[in-house]
Amino acid sequence: MSVYSAAVILFLVMDPFGNIPAFLSVLNSVDRKRRKRVILREMLIALFVLTVFLFAGKYILTGLQISEPALSISGGIILFIIALKMIFSIQFHWHNGGEDEEPLVVPLAMPLIAGPSAMAMVILFSTRYPEKIWLWFAALIAAWSMSCIILLMSDIIFKFFGSKFMKAIEKFMGMILTTFSVQMLLNGIKNFIQTLN
């Protein structure tokens, strides 16, 4: 697994293009002048959460007694489900506690950006190749930065390209993600078989 591959996987998992409609829906009642600040704040919270899971992943796995093959297999399954959601345009609707309330942490930071799949990915990277922890952090920063830029420009992107183009991009990203998920699943099964020998 290269840093480039890790960054691509994290970018696809964060799914900024697919999250644009959800972000716009949740932020619909927020003043336009504050939207970018809210998005940036939520993205920073998501980055903090993923960074914690990246550097503390080994201890989390040890505490929960989860093996590396189990994490790889479950990560592959989660990624595959997310890929199917992207390909078949299954939409999840998120609601704030009140119409005038500004979202905090949920649902923008978590689970839309720092969801279970993203957490599983950073833990997997850090536990399989702990000697490359700073390279994985660089991959996380790269994926997060691209996602942040796209979501900060969500209003412009949605108006310029429209919903059909956004759906097409999400389907394409989903197709790429399926190959990563299947490979991760196969690697997990292979590692599990090796532990039995």
Distances (CA, A) of 73 to 40, 87, 127, 161, 168: 33, 21, 14, 36, 28
Question: How much is the average pLDDT of 34-56?
Answer: 95
Total structural domains within the chain: 1
Q: Residue 127 has which token pair?
A: 């536990």
Q: Do 53 and 125 meet the contact criterion of CB atoms below 8 Å apart? A: no
pTM of the model: 0.80
Confidence of residue 22 (pLDDT cuts 50, 70, 90): confident
* Measured CA angle at 27 (ends 25, 32), to 5 deg: 125
In whole numbers, what is the pLDDT of the chain averaged over residues?
86
Beta-carbon count within 10 A of 168 CB: 12
In terms of pLDDT, which residue wins out, 172 or 82?
A: 172
On the question of pLDDT at 144 being above 90, the answer is yes
Three-class DSSP category at 104:
strand
Question: How much is the average pLDDT of 163-187?
Answer: 84
On the question of pLDDT at 12 being above 70, the answer is yes
Q: Residue 157 has which token pair?
A: 């992107």
On the question of pLDDT at 10 being above 90, the answer is yes
Q: Do 21 and 158 meet the contact criterion of CB atoms below 8 Å apart? A: yes
Q: Which structural domain, as residue segments, surrounds residue 51?
A: 3-196
pLDDT tens profile 80-101: 887 887 788 665 555 555 555 6
65: left (phi over 0), alpha (psi -120 to 50) or beta: left
Confidence of residue 187 (pLDDT cuts 50, 70, 90): confident
Beta-carbon count within 10 A of 160 CB: 9
On the question of pLDDT at 28 being above 70, the answer is yes
Q: Residue 154 has what pLDDT?
A: 92
How far apart CA 142 and CA 67 sit, in angstroms, is 28
Question: How much is the average pLDDT of 168-181?
Answer: 84
Most confident of the following: 39-53, 84-98, 110-124: 39-53
Which alpha helices (H) appear in 29-106, and where do they start and end? 32-64, 68-87
CA distance between the termini of the chain: 24
Q: Residue 111 has what pLDDT?
A: 81
Which secondary-structure segment (H or E) carries 153? Answer: none
